Amino acid sequence: MWSEQLPSGNVRFAERYEDPMTGKIRTVSCTLEKDTRVTRKAAAQILEEKIQERLAASPSPDKKLTLFGLIERYREDQKRTVKASTYSRNVFATKRLIDILGADTLVSKLNAGYVRKRFGETGDENGTLNERLTRLKALIRWGYKNDYITDIRWLDKLDKAPDPEKKERLQDKFLEGDELKNLLAGMAVPQWRLMTVFLALSGLRVGEAIALDMEDVDFQDRTIHVTKTWDTNNKLETSAKTLSSSRDVYMQDELFDLCRKIKAFTLSECLRNGCRSTLLFCDSNGDHVEYAAYNKYLKEVSLRVLGRKVTPHVLRHTHVALMAEAGVDLEIISRRLGHATSKVTRQIYYHVTKRAQERANEAIREVHLI
């Protein structure tokens, strides 16, 4: 570091550094009132911060970059670019990657054999390992796109492990009409029964339903305005999951009448509990209902009544099946669900419509018209 006196009487301090992108020598400087031991020390710190800021603005592969260092940069980027719920999920996922692969492991030394060995040593199920592999690949590809890593070809050597439990039968992803009726008949908690019917008749995600205010249900236009979702992990409302998730859902007669019942039920419960709430579904304090409590209850009742556990998302798929059986077009159903395309939605739709056609064919197979 060197200094020079300026005509104004102030002192200019300067320091050189090498630009990693060009190899050229660059200079940073700062101006202070005088040249003393204290100001020189302050100037040195200011100049070092400026150099580090410029170096950070031009990321380059660093052979000494550790997994922990890469994850720190990844998290900082995620804070700015993803929703709080996604960030929270990825913080947990990357923390587990640090535990398994080692915080001080050099990113430049990572390879398929090492990852496969360390993952295998955890003793976790294949489904869990596959989810971690997905998170690891996303992290490494982010590092590559941001020029922190030069070679990621080793990722292609890592394949997901067989996961038989994930191969769920298509019929287990939705409920038949009779199954839904039996499930509802077995539900003794009025609020959870109302929510179950609501999810099946509207196709909303459970987080979208929990976030609904009463004013989101427009009885005059027969429309439910879906603009937000409830982040159960961070206990806050966030914007809709995707751009297409923000939508208006038309209330058919059944759903229209149901929403009136839900509103009346919520108002009467608030009056009984001595609380106020603007939510369509609320707990005894007028706050958002607990997703975990509903999910647990739904699984317990469905296991007892149907012999298998049903999740809230199965009710969303059930809406697809019910609409398909009613003859509603796939494109209309997709828009109603709030996504442009979905493999599961298409599978359920074509399964139900094909089965309906087979029943129709069976009904007229032996009909004699002449």
Residue 91 is assigned to a structural domain of this protein: yes
How far from the centroid of its chain's Cα atoms is residue 327's Cα?
32
| Same domain as 178, residue 315 | yes
Residue 90 is assigned to a structural domain of this protein: yes
3-state secondary structure 2-32: EEEECCCCCEEEEEEEECCCCCCEEEEEEEE
| Same domain as 129, residue 99 | yes
Residue 338: HSE in the Cβ half-sphere, 13 Å Cα cutoff: 22
CATH of the domain at 134: 1.10.150
Name the pTM for this structure: 0.66
| Same domain as 27, residue 140 | no
| Same domain as 148, residue 181 | no
- What is the number of structural domains in the chain? 3
3-state secondary structure of 217: strand
| Same domain as 155, residue 7 | no
Closest alpha carbon to 176 in 359, 327, 322, 295: 322
| Same domain as 243, residue 104 | no
Residue 366 is assigned to a structural domain of this protein: no
- The domain of 111 spans 67-163
CB 276 within 8 A of CB 286: yes
Separation of alpha carbons 282 and 288, rounded Å: 5
3-state secondary structure of 135: helix
| Residue 97 parent element (H or E) | helix 84-101
Residue 180 is assigned to a structural domain of this protein: yes
Give exposure, 124-157, as e/b (b: 16+ Cβ within 10 Å).
Answer: eeeeebbbbbebbeebbebbeeeebbeeeeebee
| Same domain as 183, residue 83 | no
Listed residues 57, 75, 97: the one ending a domain:
57
| Same domain as 142, residue 109 | yes
Q: Per-residue pLDDT for the chain (370 aa), expressed as one digit of tens each?
A: 999 999 999 999 999 998 876 778 999 999 999 999 999 999 999 999 998 888 776 655 667 899 999 999 999 999 888 887 788 888 999 999 999 999 999 999 999 999 999 999 999 988 889 999 999 999 999 999 998 998 999 999 999 888 766 555 777 889 999 999 999 999 999 999 999 999 999 999 999 999 999 999 999 999 999 999 998 888 888 887 666 689 999 999 999 999 999 999 999 999 999 999 999 999 999 999 999 999 999 999 999 999 999 999 999 999 999 999 999 998 999 999 987 667 888 888 888 888 778 777 787 777 777 8
Hey, CA dihedral for 120, 124, 125, 131, is it positive or negative?
A: negative
| Same domain as 338, residue 237 | yes
What is the Cα gyration radius of the chain? 29
CB 117 within 8 A of CB 271: no
| Same domain as 355, residue 319 | yes
